[in-house]
Amino acid sequence: MQAKSDSLKSKCLADSQPLIMTQQLTALPIPNLVQRQREFFRTEQTQSIAFRLEQLAKLKQAIIDRQEAIIQAAKADLGRPAFEAYFEIATLGEINLALKQLKHWVKPQRVKSPIDQFPASAWIQPDPLGVVLIIGPWNYPFQLMMSPLVGAIAAGNCAMLKPSEHAPHTSQVVAELISDTFDPQYIAVAEGDANISQQLLAEKFDHIFFTGGTAIGRIVMAAAAQHLTPVTLELGGKSPCIVDSDIHLDRAAKRIAWGKFINTGQTCIAPDYLLVQRQIKPDLVDRIKYYIKEFYGENPAVSRDYGRIIHRRHFDRLITFLDRGEIVLGGDHNLADRYLAPTLIDGVTWDDPVMQEEIFGPILPILTYDELEEAIAQVNARPKPLALYFFSQDRHKQDRILQATSSGGVCINDTVMQVGVNSLPFGGVGESGMGAYHGKASFDTFSHSKSVLRREFWLDLGWRYAPYTAQKLKQIKGIVTG
């Protein structure tokens, strides 16, 4: 059996086709597997509510059974402490919500039909899209692969998964979990580098869900356009953290420090920079420094609670940001260990390199403002961020921020925690992404809202048929103008 598998594998490699190993150890090129998924979808098995619930339950149990493997993979890929690694398993909350609400989500939604359509009934029913592609990132490589999969399963689709090659240990866990749990004609995993992604993007899918950087997001969208495939892009951007003088200083500092430095700052919704009211800045910076030391000790390099940068290229990129401004805490780094200390940089300008692109690491630049409108203007002069944070006890200022700024989401008086509310759709706007997921939003993303009108035969008013008499013209004017 192994010799046969090796022979098939060699043949496919000679044909320059990326391989997927199915449960039967049969090597299949990606186009063949996508076709098999499309054929399976056409059997309509995935549309059964009982089938969907069964698959969600299987996914839930598979994750529960592999908790330790998931945690160890996150540690191997990102140096994550066990506590933060459990964020990867938060997908269980998404599954539990889907299991509880799916029968409600799939119900057709009745709508009123106008009197001129009488006798008729109208409704909107959610239909599965078909075969979908989910491309995951490396920063939360398990959770951000599984969470959209929950929506795809709940909506009744087949799915192809592409984990990030930059988190190889987690990619392997994902591949083993999926292959052990699902038939590949239903859900399959394609592991590999950018070449595999390119081959996948050459196929026609019914939806593509991508989480990652803006530059790759543009590539994904361009490839999808060749097939007119709709996309959901979960990107990022420079998420501002605006701090007013009217705050609970200690708790604000603690929450900012936590949100910025979990996963070593490699979180798409981490506060990217501080924009602090000038009066409060010295005290706030002092308290943030205090909490960084409380979280990770005097030397974070030896802390069991502080992770590492994902790879050399990203590490080198982050180090270039240390050349401008005044480092008021941190800055220490070690390439051999991919270690970069939690770092605060003061004295930066809007034109410095650290303010020109998303940081995605443990570096927090500090800028100031005098009046809130000044801060709002600075934020609005830049691409719309995935998240915006505002610390203030002033309800009027909170309302002003909500009205005057645009971002994927807003969290007031905390950081990052908004992502844990499954009933809140999560997604970007503008350059920070398009589309949303989590909870019902995930189900909607992977569904088509099909509009249906049903007429009856027992009555047929003749107002719409030729010849168009003066009376019929009067009728249509009344219908159109109300």
How far apart, in whole angstroms, are the C-alpha atoms of residue 76 and residue 70?
10
**From the CB of residue 6, how many other CB atoms can be counted at a distance below 10 Å?**
11
Tokens of 278: 């000038």
Nearest to 411 by CA among 390, 432, 383, 427: 390
Give me the catalytic one of 12, 241, 268, 411.
268
Contacts of 120 (CB under 8 A, 6+ apart): 113, 453, 454, 455, 456
Q: Are the beta carbons of 310 and 264 closer than 8 angstroms? A: no
The answer to whether 220 touches 204, Cβ cutoff 8 Å, is no
d(CA 400, CA 248): 20
User: What is the rounded CA–CA span in Å between residue 365 and residue 381?
Assistant: 18
Query: DSSP letter string over 111-148?
Result: E---GGG-SEEEEEEEEE-SEEEEE--SSSTTHHHHHH
Letter string b/e over residues 366-403, b meaning 16 or more CB atoms within 10 A of that residue's CB: bbbbeebeebbeebeeeebbbbbbbbbeeeebbebbee
Find out whether 159 and 152 touch, Cβ atoms under 8 Å: yes
Cβ(387)–Cβ(239) below 8 Å: yes
Tokens of 5: 């598998």
Peptide bond between residue 128 and the one before it cis (omega within 30 degrees of 0): no
Reply yes or no on whether 268 is catalytic.
yes
> Which letter does DSSP use for residue 417 in this model?
G
Partners of 234 in the β-ladder: 211, 433
Helix (H, G, I), strand (E, B) or coil at 342: coil
- State the Cα–Cα distance between residues 401 and 376, nearest whole angstrom: 7
Task: Please tell me which residue in 234, 358, 411, 431 is annotated as part of the active site.
Answer: 234
Q: How far apart are CA 29 and CA 17, in angstroms?
A: 5
**234 catalytic, yes or no?**
yes
Catalytic residues: 234, 268
